[in-house]
């Protein structure tokens, strides 16, 4: 595999994957957090209007409380914020490696920098995969 193939088929595809996953996790996290906040704030507002004549409002407030609990559980279970930050960090680190290589900046200012690029990129990807695997094992143990 030559330099252009490696950058296109491996490095750029990994950058794209981490970028998309980061964006997806960020959107998911913000969506759930906004929904959680709106539901939580709505409960005391609704309870301010509850009387014996409005049993539907009590049910609505209780339902919103359940929704807040479910969202909180989802945020903890799926760890969208942690994934978003981790994926974004890996994406940006891979981009930096690519640009350092393309501009022949340190540490790529040597005679044959391609093997160094491959080594550093593969270590970054492997480290991310190992972190993800350890997170899954940790979740399994906590069940």
pLDDT at 35 over 70: yes
Spatial separation of the C-alpha atoms in residues 8 and 24, rounded to whole Å: 23
Domain boundaries of the chain, sorted by first residue: 3-142
pLDDT of residue 131: 77
Q: What is the pLDDT of residues 3-19, one digit of tens each?
A: 999 999 999 999 999 99
Range in 115-119, 123-127, 131-135 with the lowest mean pLDDT: 131-135
pLDDT of residue 12: 98
Please check whether residue 46 is in contact with residue 59, taking contact to mean a CB–CB distance below 8 angstroms: no
Please check whether residue 12 is in contact with residue 94, taking contact to mean a CB–CB distance below 8 angstroms: no
pLDDT at 132 over 80: no
pLDDT at 42 over 70: yes
DSSP label at residue 133: H
Spatial separation of the C-alpha atoms in residues 135 and 130, rounded to whole Å: 9
Spatial separation of the C-alpha atoms in residues 62 and 53, rounded to whole Å: 17
pLDDT at 64 over 90: yes
Q: With bands split at pLDDT 50, 70 and 90, how would you rate the model's confidence at 116?
A: very high
Spatial separation of the C-alpha atoms in residues 39 and 64, rounded to whole Å: 6
User: What is this structure's pTM?
Assistant: 0.84
Q: With bands split at pLDDT 50, 70 and 90, how would you rate the model's confidence at 142?
A: low
Could you tell me the two tokens for 25? Answer: 């996790």
Tell me the average pLDDT of the chain: 93
Please check whether residue 66 is in contact with residue 94, taking contact to mean a CB–CB distance below 8 angstroms: no
The percent of residues above 70 in pLDDT, for the chain, comes to 95
């Amino acid at each position: 595999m030559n330099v252009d193939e490696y950058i296109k088929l491996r490095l750029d595809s990994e950058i794209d994957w981490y970028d998309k996953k980061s964006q997806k996790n960020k959107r998911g996290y913000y969506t759930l957090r906004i929904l959680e906040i709106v539901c939580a704030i709505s409960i005391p507002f609704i309870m301010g209007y509850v009387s014996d004549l409005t049993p539907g409002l009590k049910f609505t407030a209780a339902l919103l409380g359940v929704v807040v609990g479910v969202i909180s559980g989802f945020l903890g279970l799926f760890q969208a914020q942690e994934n978003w930050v981790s994926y974004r960090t890996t994406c940006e680190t891979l981009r930096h490696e690519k640009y350092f290589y393309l501009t022949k900046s340190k540490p790529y200012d040597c005679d044959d920098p391609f093997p160094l690029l491959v080594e550093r990129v593969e270590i970054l990807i492997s480290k991310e995969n190992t972190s993800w695997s350890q997170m899954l094992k940790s979740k399994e143990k906590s069940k």
